[in-house]
Structure 1
Amino acid sequence: MKKNLLKILVLSTWALFAQAQNLIPVYLDDTQLIEARVEDALARMILEEKIAMIHAQSKFSSPGVSRLGIPELWMTDGPHGIRPEVLWDEWDQAGWTNDSCIAFPALSCLSSSWDKNLALLYGRSIGEEARYRNKTVLLGPGVNLYRSPLNGRNFEYMGEDPYLASQMVVPYVKGVQQNGVAACVKHYALNNQETDRHGVNVVVSDRALYEIYLPAFKAAVQEGEAWAIMGAYGKYKGQQCCHNEYLLKDILRDEWDFDGVVISDWGGVHQTEQAIFNGLDLEYGTWTDGLTMGKTNAYDAYYLAAPYYKMIKEGKVGTKELDEKVRNILRLSFRTAMNRNKPYGSFGTDKHAKASREIAEGGIVLLKNDNDLLPISLKSNTRIAVIGENAIKMMTVGGGSSSLKVKYEISPLEGIKNRVGDAVEVVYARGYVGDAESDYNGVKSGQDLHDNRTAEELLKEAIEVAKKADVVIFIGGLNKSKHQDCEGSDRLTLDLPYNQNNIITELAKVNKKLVFINISGNAVAMPFVKKVPAIVQGWYLGSETGNALASVLMGDVNPSGKLSFTFPVTIEDNSAEAIGEFGLEGEVHYKEDIFVGYRYNDKEKIKALFPFGHGLSYTTFNYGKITADSNVMNVDGSITLNIPITNTGSRDGAEVVQLYVQDVKSTLVRPMKELKGFEKVFLKAGKTKVVSFTLTKEALSYFDDVKHEWIAESGKFTLYIGTSSEDIKQTFSFKLTK
């Protein structure tokens, strides 16, 4: 776009004049017309209007230019649902009665569906909800890589693999923006811990940056054509990420040619001069003395407000950077708020509830199923014991900025009862008391979870209930409280909280038909794993939580989710924890470099509790022999593999076929395998489908941080086809030639 700017300006100036005079029809494409309107509006604005446009005027809005008919911009937190309205200048709830949304599953669930169609459905549905509420920008999705299972915000992200996150973020972004709402991809970049999140400086090699931590952002920008991006809180190369020259100018603008708006995270701006020159466009949530004191027009004290204006008036800086910021904001406005062709959207609909449930069912992962305990066989006299606080606790409230006020939320217990009906007896026992609070940021769940019984009394009740049941379903895991899955704090341990390990162990002693459902957005330790025959990863599933879980437990839906991150046996099996460089204050060194997640497990020959890509089914699949169009690939060409997949079981189901690549001998050290392709294929019982993968040099390349370029070296490559990073079914070797 930058290369054609002069041409666009000339054409657009003439086009606007001709259009205004009704002299000739205009034959500019949409991009050229938007650029024409941007330049026209910019030329009409005065300095004070430009300054006002580049910073907030309330908690979630920034001004337009009413004199010129340019509307305000309105932000809303996602990425799992549309945040309830707050007061203009405070975090307190505005008290609306019509802002209760549909909650969609956490992005950790979406990424574990490995289903790009569901990602598109997700984006389109949440975009419709944002559009109906007249929001300009949805603050999501999040694509920061899963570096440690102790990161409190992992549940908002898309897993540990850059390729998987890249493939899933693109349709999400496109789906949102089909509604004339901008997706704001966050948090750019290296936001991999919550400890000291405003001050921590990340030290990481350029190679790890480009191979691990940037690909999902790059895909969102170049393939998804995202209209906005949010800077991270922390620092990189000693500069805050919200005004970081290397990230925002050198990479985002110059290398990726991003033409959208860079928005600060709330309170992420720390300095006026860097904010002017280093690529930030729009400042939100800065904590100034004036603002905390409730001063009138406190937003004028923002770094890009009065201080910037004063520097311009005193001749210390020019207006070139200001005009570029305003151009980007105007371009966003013409794509969204001033787009006359955008749809109306819809909110809290049955259609969105159905979409939420479909996404939840697609992302639920069956981790273990000894003796085919699942699906549960229902008979008229079946007695089911449901145990655990997470069977009744609302999970849409809490966790930070993703906390929601929902139209409804079906609990797991309620969903199970709805599914089995009156003919099956369902008995509930609390088991433990975790977090009894029921509100967050003024959103009240309406639940009263306080329980004065002792831990011994609760355990005794649970054991008695379990003894008399045909099957026991323990629903536990984490919640969205501080030091669990929650913005602003990291986890303190990999272990389950509230003595759950002991409770599960005791239940296994009295009933061998025990199902553990882990509600979390993170991996947890499971020292009881050999004692529990069936384990399900349940995530935070949104409004339709209970219905989605029940449909999988009872076999109405065949589970097809696959883990988007590794479950380690112990915390020391995670690379960041092994090197002792996670959750530190001041500075964190990513010494594991590119060896994150399963890459580290392969390198150190560590067997996972449950590996990346793992997930079972109620049916079975056979992987046929790989065929390829050649065993030699030219660096400028491609190679295509075909592999037949057969559903050999008695149930219809979906399988995720995963393709990993190994560079057998390379100049720089490389992982043993890297995910470079996947396909989710649905097969009726007994049916076969051929899955095809086409690879180009991009899939074979590594980033040389000395030459600062991607390199595909000639030589031998091995391709692995598997059901997880550890379960490889077929291999194929070929040579890459220059």
Structure 2
Amino acid sequence: MKIKFNQRLFLIIVISCFYVNYASAQHKEVDIQLTATKLTSIALDAKIDSIIKILTLEEKIAMTHAQSKFSTKGVARLGIPEIWMSDGPHGVREEISWDSWSHAEWTNDSITAFPALTALAATFNPELSANYGSSIGEEARYRKKDVLLGPGINIYRTPMNGRNFEYLGEDPYLAATMVVPYIKGVQKNGVAACVKHFALNNQEHWRDKINVELSDRALYEIYLPAFKAAVKEAKVWSIMGAYNKIRGQYACHNELLLNKILKTDWSFDGVVISDWSGAHTTEESAKYGLDIEMGTGTDGLGTSTANHYDNYYLAKPFLKAIKKGVLSEDLLDDKVRRILRLMYRTNLSFNRPLGKLNNKEHHEVALNVATEGIVLLKNEDDFFPIKDDKTITIAVIGENATRVMAPGGGSSELKPQFEISPLEGIKKRFKNAKIIHTMGYSSGPSVYDEVIPTKLDQDSLYVKAIKIAKKADVVLFIGGLNKNHLQDCEGDDREIFQLPYQQEKLINGMHEVNKNIGFLLLTGNAVEMSWLPKTKGVLQTWYLGSMAGEAIAQIISGDKNPSGKLPFSFPKKLKDNAAHFYGETSYPGVNMTQHYKEDILVGYRWFDTKKIAPQYAFGYGLSYTNFKLSDIKTDKNVYSLTDKITVHCTVTNNGNRQGAEVIQVYIGKLNSDVKRALKELKGFKKVFLKSYKKETAKIEINVSDLAFYNEKISDWAVEKGTYSIYVGNASDSISEIIKVTIK
């Protein structure tokens, strides 16, 4: 007894130096809840190590795998809490049952649905991204969530990917710039952001089987920068693995991605969480970087074995392997150490905010993101804005005018307190004009994993729509995709590039009786636009969440001036997209393996370099006013590696409406020794101007950011020589090209 008492006394004295006291079992809960912010990182690490020493092997094992659909176990005897997670790149998902995918049917889990991340990316406004992250973090905190499973930052490689609407576009610089303030905004609420899906989860088709083969340059230059920024700049607390394989090894336990790049090269000190059922073996899960295993075999469709959570790869099999000496307990301790660090940042933090839900400030943020994200693609004869006039009859035609979008899309489904439909918003704003509405087409019910045909007669809907279009002065067709299976939805990819549900036939029919057609395109993806000549105006409106209808009404009425820019390119035909140019071996793959044959030439890099004209270019977006970029210059002509390139550009609003323009700076290397894109986005700035005003903006770019990944040395390198700086307002709209030299 004396030996045991002395050991305990010694432990008390040592840990007291780090503001920790384990004097009695009654005090342990209080001790564990001391704020991490009061401790240095060294003291916190020592504190965590001291906790690990008093945990049993079984208690540590229980912390590394799920106990329900969205939670992991704590240690009740020590006051160590459970960890609660929620889906939610653009809103906190409604409560799911403990052990099935059915909804829990709570009455207090309705939230604000924020615009999907494609809309956020289209704002080109990092300040809005910070507000977005802060608001969704507050809602997650109010719902008592510790980890928000988002944002999604996989690169838009093909317009067929069913999950692109959850991501931040095709350009790594744009995605990196927008994701950092989002993460910081979430985490200041004591909720961990969980960036996903790490990495190369660029299609839903065969997502849990496909093996991705690509060059190191493509990996490091295109698909990793946003994740790196999330770790190195935003200091994200958790990250989710992807379903797919990379070079033959599953991403959720991948030695290259997780152990080398993430945890060694980037010094990530947070937690790696598997995507649900993303783990496949005990040995690889233990050794190759996975910290928390979620969803294995308990997806509501699999095993019903008693205590099935205990049969996860990181559960009883892991415990058994450690006891037999097959796997080291040090592997487990590293996972628990990371989990405890996550807790001290979230549910064990002393000064954690309380959160807020569905307040007017959140609705205002959702509205601002929605209005700034809407992109004006076409405006022939100044079709937009439309006046609210008693002499005008506006025909609002299309299922998407009234369809509720928030509940669809798969795991990003939402249960908003309200969702203002486009028709509702238009009716509220246009109180003088006569508004008439009909569906025009029907897509069937919103279902995650199957297609259920509509029970409505499409021919009858078509005939009625043509009659109404003929009577109207203005036709607003509200169509596009939706969040059904095989549309913009998790679980599989789109099957056609064209508009579904015979919408093109409907547009052609309406055009025969009324030439005054505007199209409000609701999608998270590019679509084929052979119907474009039959329209006078086109607005890309994305999935805008709770405030959708109000935002749309503000734009089409002219109350707000559109300022969104496309975060990805619209190809004229699918074959023009780089991933599809090389056939099935590139997408969707052959024999469950695909090769990224376009390499680093993703999105506008491909269109620019191969001189293929897109339908609409990356960065493109019109305004109701006229902007001019002028007096474009750099601070000097010759730079060294440690310098910053400073680009000056004057923006003038030559119109009679206030608005915003996005200055975009692309840089390309002339006569490069390696294959390069013609140019790459390296800086941008959104400038807000009143009518007939001008402003000179400054954009700084680190010369070191011009590096390419040199596969010969497995490191980054900057070529010396001449570079071209392209300054414009879209990737295909360049106002000035300046040549500079890098020494």
TM-score class, shorter: over 0.9
Superposed displacement of residue 691, structure 1: 1.1
TM alignment of 1:22-61, pairs within 5 A: 29-61=39-71
TM alignment of 1:356-435, pairs within 5 A: 356-421=366-431, 423-435=432-444
Q: Which residue of 1 aligns with 2:548?
A: 545
**In the alignment, is the contact (CA less than 8 A) between 1:144 and 1:213 conserved in 2?**
yes
- Select 1:558's aligned residue among 561, 564, 578: 561
Give me the whole-angstrom Cα distance separating, in 2, the residues matched to 1:291 and 1:503: 40
Superposed displacement of residue 482, structure 1: 1.2
Q: Does 1:466 align with 2:469?
A: yes
Superposed displacement of residue 412, structure 1: 0.6
**In the alignment, is the contact (CA less than 8 A) between 2:158 and 2:577 conserved in 1?**
yes
Q: Does 1:678 align with 2:688?
A: no
**In the alignment, is the contact (CA less than 8 A) between 2:420 and 2:547 conserved in 1?**
yes
Superposed displacement of residue 357, structure 1: 1.1
SS of 1:482's partner is coil
Kindly tell me: are residues 450 and 197 of structure 1, through their superposed partners in 2, closer, same or farther at Cα, counting changes over 3 Å? closer
**In the alignment, is the contact (CA less than 8 A) between 1:290 and 1:301 conserved in 2?**
no
Q: Which residue of 1 aligns with 2:168?
A: 158
Q: Which residue of 2 aligns with 1:176?
A: 186
**Which one is further off, 81-90 or 514-523?**
81-90
Give me the whole-angstrom Cα distance separating, in 1, the residues matched to 2:343 and 2:276: 20
**In the alignment, is the contact (CA less than 8 A) between 1:397 and 1:439 conserved in 2?**
no
Kindly tell me: are residues 127 and 649 of structure 1, through their superposed partners in 2, closer, same or farther at Cα, counting changes over 3 Å? same
Kindly tell me: are residues 38 and 376 of structure 1, through their superposed partners in 2, closer, same or farther at Cα, counting changes over 3 Å? same
- Select 1:354's aligned residue among 356, 364, 368: 364
Letter in 2 for 1:16: F
Kindly tell me: are residues 362 and 449 of structure 1, through their superposed partners in 2, closer, same or farther at Cα, counting changes over 3 Å? farther
Give me the whole-angstrom Cα distance separating, in 2, the residues matched to 1:665 and 1:290: 56
Kindly tell me: are residues 577 and 460 of structure 1, through their superposed partners in 2, closer, same or farther at Cα, counting changes over 3 Å? same
> What do you get for the CA RMSD once the two structures are aligned?
2.1
Kindly tell me: are residues 197 and 438 of structure 1, through their superposed partners in 2, closer, same or farther at Cα, counting changes over 3 Å? closer
Deviations 1:693-713 (A, max 9, x none): 122223311111121111111
**In the alignment, is the contact (CA less than 8 A) between 2:15 and 2:21 conserved in 1?**
no
**In the alignment, is the contact (CA less than 8 A) between 2:394 and 2:474 conserved in 1?**
yes
Q: Which residue of 1 aligns with 2:29?
A: none
Deviations 1:168-196 (A, max 9, x none): 00000000001000000000000011111
Superposed displacement of residue 334, structure 1: 0.5
Superposed displacement of residue 295, structure 1: 2.7
Give me the whole-angstrom Cα distance separating, in 1, the residues matched to 2:157 and 2:87: 24
Equivalences, count: 718
- Select 1:452's aligned residue among 452, 456, 467: 456
Superposed displacement of residue 19, structure 1: 6.8
Give me the whole-angstrom Cα distance separating, in 2, the residues matched to 1:441 and 1:579: 29
Give me the whole-angstrom Cα distance separating, in 2, the residues matched to 1:73 and 1:173: 19
Superposed displacement of residue 30, structure 1: 4.4
Q: Which residue of 1 aligns with 2:17?
A: 15
Letter in 1 for 2:637: N
Q: Which residue of 2 aligns with 1:117?
A: 127
Letter in 2 for 1:342: R
Q: Which residue of 2 aligns with 1:531?
A: 534
TM alignment of 1:160-309, pairs within 5 A: 160-287=170-297, 292-309=302-319
Q: Which residue of 2 aligns with 1:735?
A: 741
Give me the whole-angstrom Cα distance separating, in 1, the residues matched to 2:427 and 2:515: 22
Unaligned segments of structure 1, at least 5 residues: 1-8, 443-447
Give me the whole-angstrom Cα distance separating, in 2, the residues matched to 1:28 and 1:463: 68
Superposed displacement of residue 15, structure 1: 2.3
SS of 1:250's partner is helix
Kindly tell me: are residues 87 and 290 of structure 1, through their superposed partners in 2, closer, same or farther at Cα, counting changes over 3 Å? closer
Kindly tell me: are residues 67 and 494 of structure 1, through their superposed partners in 2, closer, same or farther at Cα, counting changes over 3 Å? same
Give me the whole-angstrom Cα distance separating, in 2, the residues matched to 1:277 and 1:718: 46
**In the alignment, is the contact (CA less than 8 A) between 1:567 and 1:608 conserved in 2?**
yes
- Select 1:624's aligned residue among 610, 630, 642: 630
Letter in 2 for 1:541: L
- Normalization by structure 1: what TM-score? 0.94
Deviations 1:693-735 (A, max 9, x none): 1222233111111211111111001101111100101111110
Give me the whole-angstrom Cα distance separating, in 1, the residues matched to 2:645 and 2:257: 34
SS of 1:516's partner is strand
**In the alignment, is the contact (CA less than 8 A) between 1:122 and 1:175 conserved in 2?**
yes
TM alignment of 1:327-342, pairs within 5 A: 327-342=337-352
Q: Which residue of 2 aligns with 1:702?
A: 708
Letter in 1 for 2:390: S
- Select 1:668's aligned residue among 674, 677, 691: 674
Q: Which residue of 2 aligns with 1:445?
A: none
Superposed displacement of residue 28, structure 1: 6.8
TM alignment of 1:581-620, pairs within 5 A: 581-584=586-589, 586-620=592-626
Give me the whole-angstrom Cα distance separating, in 2, the residues matched to 1:114 and 1:185: 19
**In the alignment, is the contact (CA less than 8 A) between 1:136 and 1:336 conserved in 2?**
yes
Superposed displacement of residue 452, structure 1: 3.1
Kindly tell me: are residues 697 and 506 of structure 1, through their superposed partners in 2, closer, same or farther at Cα, counting changes over 3 Å? same
Letter in 2 for 1:495: Q
Deviations 1:457-514 (A, max 9, x none): 2222111211221211000000111111010110111100011111112212222221
Give me the whole-angstrom Cα distance separating, in 2, the residues matched to 1:627 and 1:313: 67
**In the alignment, is the contact (CA less than 8 A) between 1:620 and 1:648 conserved in 2?**
yes
Deviations 1:377-423 (A, max 9, x none): 221221100000011110101111001111111111111001112x2
Superposed displacement of residue 296, structure 1: 2.6
Q: Which residue of 1 aligns with 2:115?
A: 105
SS of 1:93's partner is coil
SS of 1:624's partner is strand
**In the alignment, is the contact (CA less than 8 A) between 1:266 and 1:284 conserved in 2?**
yes
Deviations 1:593-649 (A, max 9, x none): 000111111121110101000000011111112122210101222221211111111
SS of 1:626's partner is strand
Identity of aligned residues (%): 50
Deviations 1:431-476 (A, max 9, x none): 11112x156699xxxxx996633x3322221112112212110000
Letter in 1 for 2:212: V
Q: Which residue of 2 aligns with 1:572?
A: 575
**Which one is further off, 461-470 or 572-581?**
461-470
Deviations 1:214-245 (A, max 9, x none): 00000001101100000000001211100000
Give me the whole-angstrom Cα distance separating, in 2, the residues matched to 1:398 and 1:244: 31
- Select 1:496's aligned residue among 482, 499, 507: 499
Give me the whole-angstrom Cα distance separating, in 2, the residues matched to 1:545 and 1:229: 30
Kindly tell me: are residues 67 and 19 of structure 1, through their superposed partners in 2, closer, same or farther at Cα, counting changes over 3 Å? closer
Q: Which residue of 2 aligns with 1:4?
A: none
**Which one is further off, 559-568 or 285-294?**
285-294
Kindly tell me: are residues 290 and 223 of structure 1, through their superposed partners in 2, closer, same or farther at Cα, counting changes over 3 Å? closer
Letter in 1 for 2:517: L
SS of 2:109's partner is coil
Give me the whole-angstrom Cα distance separating, in 1, the residues matched to 2:310 and 2:460: 57
**In the alignment, is the contact (CA less than 8 A) between 2:15 and 2:47 conserved in 1?**
no
**In the alignment, is the contact (CA less than 8 A) between 1:93 and 1:441 conserved in 2?**
no
Kindly tell me: are residues 13 and 291 of structure 1, through their superposed partners in 2, closer, same or farther at Cα, counting changes over 3 Å? farther
SS of 1:16's partner is coil
Kindly tell me: are residues 271 and 20 of structure 1, through their superposed partners in 2, closer, same or farther at Cα, counting changes over 3 Å? closer
Letter in 2 for 1:174: K
Kindly tell me: are residues 219 and 97 of structure 1, through their superposed partners in 2, closer, same or farther at Cα, counting changes over 3 Å? same
Give me the whole-angstrom Cα distance separating, in 1, the residues matched to 2:372 and 2:40: 37
Q: Does 1:81 align with 2:91?
A: yes
